[in-house]
Amino acid sequence: MLFFMIASALWLRLFWLQVLHPDHWVTIARRQHFQMLELLPTRGDILDRRLKPLAVSIRLTSVFANPRQIKNPGTVSEKLSPILDRPAAEIEDKLSNKERGFVWLARRIPNQAAAQIRKLRLSGVEVVMEPQRVYPQGFLASHVIGFAGIDLKGLEGLELAYNHLLEGEPGWRWLSRDARRRLVGAWDAPMVAPRDGLHLVLTLDSTIQFFAERELDRAFKETRAKGGTIVVLDPRTGDVLALANRPTFDPNQIAGTTSDVRRNRAVTDTFEPGSVFKVVTAAVALAKGAVRVTDKFFCENGAYPVAGHVLHDHTAHGWLTFREVITNSSNIGTVKVAMRMGPAPIYEAMKAFGFGVSTGVEMPGEVGGVAKNPKNWSKTSITAIPIGQEVTVTAMQLAQAIAAVANNGVMMKPHVVKEIRDPNGTVVKKIQPAVVKRVIPEQIDFQLKDILTGVIAEGTGKLAVVPGYRAAGKTGTAQKVEPNGTYSHSKFMASFIGFVPVENPRLAIVVVLDEPRTFYYGGVVSAPVFSRVAADALGYLQVQEGIATTTRSQGAASAVRAGAPAGSIQRVVPQGD
């Protein structure tokens, strides 16, 4: 009877184990004898338009340990300390925590150090291959590219915006372990291969980016400016050919950098544009028929009492034609033109040129600035907004606007991603140029181009001349607003916006310097940057025009062959903004 009872109990126990709860015990057995290993994907590359690498992933070795398997943490720490170049006490502290089954000892160490650790054959200490993000060009285009963290998650720039495409998907496989929980090989059953990330091909051209970085850096240092930005677009497509900011950073060395250094000022920082905004006022005045190029305005010899305050010009002028009002950047003349129209057309033009809303360029953190509705204008707004006050913009918005003028009045959406490719290099998506809208009629645009050509030929933008080419643009010098709401008399934003060649524009360029010192006029500090970048980029692109605007006759542009060597700038006396 006793034997029958024991046999029945064993039978019931076996039935319970094998029939009623088999999965539970199989799971426990697998946990004891098998370990799942995550297979990390390779993060996709970021390349320039000519497939030059800007961000790539390499594989380095990392070291981890299971403190529960280490019997003598002190001895193990002493052996690892010289190899990892870390204090033995720091390593021992990690190995002594028996509550944890996994700790990182070092991430992404040199291959030589990894080989030394393997030779030690330390129980509980393992090495594993991990990918690391590398930026071969250093600070070049760093604000566009951004960077990824130690876990290869994008944290800023395109690394953040396109993280979902770049990071790929991890895979996994089972590894078998013996009774002592040592890895003995791969289990042939379940395995899922990792899916590597996609590659981004950008519209950036590394050579033009280098020109832009070099010249912006030169101006930033020479003027001792607080900050600076340059944006270069292809006005025909909206391609961002170059974008740089100062101060800058090397994404390979993020430690110690601040958010002030890392932020992409071209899309995150707004400022009052000053006289570069007169391009908008001029465009709407011509389009609405409020003024003709030859209409004359009395500029009050530099001081104009209006709307309860006195409006000043940087240089005293008497009678000026409308064309001369813009080329000489007269605040008084521009305001008199604006008062002919009233607030509504000016607001309409602001919105048409894309101010007050973000451009939609793919870089994170973009803001739209401020373009006030006329119902919110004060009695002095009509004397401020037409000359670039009481309105805030970004450098990217200015680039989109001047590119529209260059493109015969048609605005293109700025974009920085050209293609998306799979890990094999096959194009899976091509980003086509996108037309936003027509901003101004083509015939009006021709008139505006002619006026802006005069800004460089004979007006405030003489230092923006590009030897061998006809260029057009506008200078700007804006007083910054102090914390108490008043305009500063010592802090300025100096800017230049322009395009070249006039007949078939290939480059639209915006240069902004924040608080340049000693000299602060846009026509003095920003215009030369435009000139040098444009000259080098056009030569690199092999754009052939060979003429430069130097004189005017009866309001029509005439040109002569430029005798100055490439990159040289004629010495002129700076004037105005």
CATH number of the domain encompassing residue 323: 3.40.710.10
Residue 221 has a CB neighbour count (10 Å cut-off) of 11
List helix spans (H) across 175-321.
Answer: 206-222, 259-262, 265-268, 278-287
Q: Is residue 577 part of a domain?
A: no
42 in Cβ contact with 57 (< 8 Å): yes
**Who's near 39: CB < 8 A, 6+ residues apart?**
170, 171, 172, 173, 192, 193, 194
Q: Is residue 130 part of a domain?
A: no
Which residue is associated with the tokens 């502290």? 93
In whole angstroms, what is the distance from residue 198 CA to residue 164 CA? 9
Q: Is residue 420 part of a domain?
A: yes
Bigger pLDDT: 345 vs 563: 345
423 in Cβ contact with 199 (< 8 Å): yes
pLDDT tier at 330 (50, 70, 90 boundaries)? very high
The pLDDT score that the predictor gives to residue 562 is: 31
In whole angstroms, what is the distance from residue 162 CA to residue 176 CA? 37
Lowest-pLDDT choice from 8-22, 369-383, 448-462: 8-22
Q: Is residue 67 part of a domain?
A: no
Q: Is residue 152 part of a domain?
A: no
The pLDDT score that the predictor gives to residue 532 is: 98
Q: Is residue 20 part of a domain?
A: no
Q: Would you give the DSSP letter of residue 407?
A: T
The pLDDT score that the predictor gives to residue 300 is: 96
pLDDT tier at 513 (50, 70, 90 boundaries)? very high
The pLDDT score that the predictor gives to residue 554 is: 31
Which residue is associated with the tokens 């009872």? 5
In whole angstroms, what is the distance from residue 469 CA to residue 339 CA? 36
Residues identified as active-site: 275
Q: Is residue 455 part of a domain?
A: yes
Domain containing 436 equals 206-560
The pLDDT score that the predictor gives to residue 577 is: 79
In whole angstroms, what is the distance from residue 48 CA to residue 50 CA? 5
Domain count, the chain: 1
Predicted TM-score (pTM) of this structure: 0.82
> What are the C-alpha distances in Å from 230 to residues 496, 512, 514?
10, 6, 12
Looking at the predicted structure, is the pLDDT value of residue 163 above 80? yes
533 in Cβ contact with 558 (< 8 Å): no
Residues 63-109: tens digit of each pLDDT: 888 888 888 888 888 888 898 888 988 888 888 887 777 788 888 88
Q: Which of 514, 416, 490 is nearest to 216 (CA)?
A: 514
What integer is the mean pLDDT of 397-418?
98
Looking at the predicted structure, is the pLDDT value of residue 455 above 90? yes
Q: Would you give the DSSP letter of residue 20?
A: I
In whole angstroms, what is the distance from residue 169 CA to residue 171 CA? 7
Q: Is residue 10 part of a domain?
A: no
